[in-house]
Amino acid sequence: QVQLAESGGGSVQAGGSLRLSCVASGYIYDYRIFSMGWFRQAPGKEREGLAVIGGGDSTGYADSVEGRFTISRDNAKRTVYLQMNSLKPEDTAIYYCAATTSRTWFRRDAADFPSWGQGTQVTVSS
């Protein structure tokens, strides 16, 4: 089974940028069979699917982050990235990466993603 570990979170000022990374480990015959996603959860709010990327590099974004965030992957490194630009205080949350082999990964539904990282905190100050 795949294990995921996020890194790159931290505290930044509004308008700043962060790049999150998520490394997959464990037995993986072909990493490309996994679609990957980035989700976030702020206190008192539902977990939000931000960005997803399929094995063929197709991507999808939530309206709240499209144009500011970019998801990408490096299959040789078994790593998925989330480049976050123009950060806003409302982006403050715990950010999680997730993996799935579901055919419906593009819906960005957390229920479709059985494997999750531990999360990394992103704090954006005004």
Q: Per-residue pLDDT for 1 more than 80?
A: no
| % of residues, the chain, pLDDT over 90 | 96
Distance of CA 79 to the CA centre of its chain: 11
Residue type, 72: S
Backbone torsions φ then ψ of 111, nearest 5 degrees: -65, -20
d(CA 37, CA 15): 23
Structure tokens given for 8: 């790159």
| Encoded tokens for 105 | 């990964």
pLDDT of residue 45: 95
29: confidence class by pLDDT, cuts 50, 70, 90: confident
Section 43-70 average pLDDT: 96
Residue 22 has a pLDDT of: 98
pLDDT of residue 75: 95
14, 10, 8: which is closest to 82 by C-alpha?
Answer: 8
Choice between 1 and 9, residue whose per-residue pLDDT is larger: 9
Other beta carbons within 10 angstroms of residue 118's beta carbon come to 11
User: Given this model, what pLDDT does residue 25 score?
Assistant: 95
